Amino acid sequence: MGVDRVEKKPADCTTIEEIRAEIDRLDQAVVALIGKRFQYVVAGAKFKGTTASVRAPERFAAMLRQRRTWAEEAGLKPDVIEKLFRDLVNHFIFIEDEIKKLRR
């Protein structure tokens, strides 16, 4: 099952297996995008000199507000999307902190 496979629209699926295959395809694409996002996090760590700049609370809050807006626009629950991104970014912040420690 490849990410490059042509998407089948939900209404065109005729079996639960087709639905599951499309969900799996989308999940694989989401994981690949998270991996790509992580590469940017690692690359960005070199521009951040302090733990405070890694944590960047103002940027974090603004990012969460934007993700909530995107969630609303997509018809999703903003609280769920905020939690997803809060957990993801907190994990990446932890990794950035570890990278900074190793570079000392």
Shared domain check, 38 and 66:
no
Q: Kindly state whether residues 39 and 57 are assigned to the same domain.
A: no
Domain shared by 33 and 59, yes or no: no
Q: Does 82 lie in the same domain as 33?
A: no
Same domain? 26 vs 67: no
Pair (77, 65) in one structural domain:
yes
Number of domains in the chain: 2
Do the beta carbons of residue 29 and residue 3 sit within 8 Å?
yes
Identify the sign of the CA torsion 9, 85, 104, 102.
negative
φ, ψ of residue 69 to 5 degrees: the values are -60, -45
| Full residue range of the structural domain in which residue 62 is found | 49-104
63 and 37 both lie in a single domain? no
Q: What does the pLDDT profile of the chain (104 residues) look like in tens digits?
A: 445 567 899 999 999 999 999 999 999 999 999 999 999 988 887 787 766 667 788 999 999 999 999 999 999 999 999 999 999 999 998 888 887 777 76
Residue type, 62: A
DSSP state letters, 19-58:
HHHHHHHHHHHHHHHHHHHHHHHHHHHTT--SHHHHH-HH
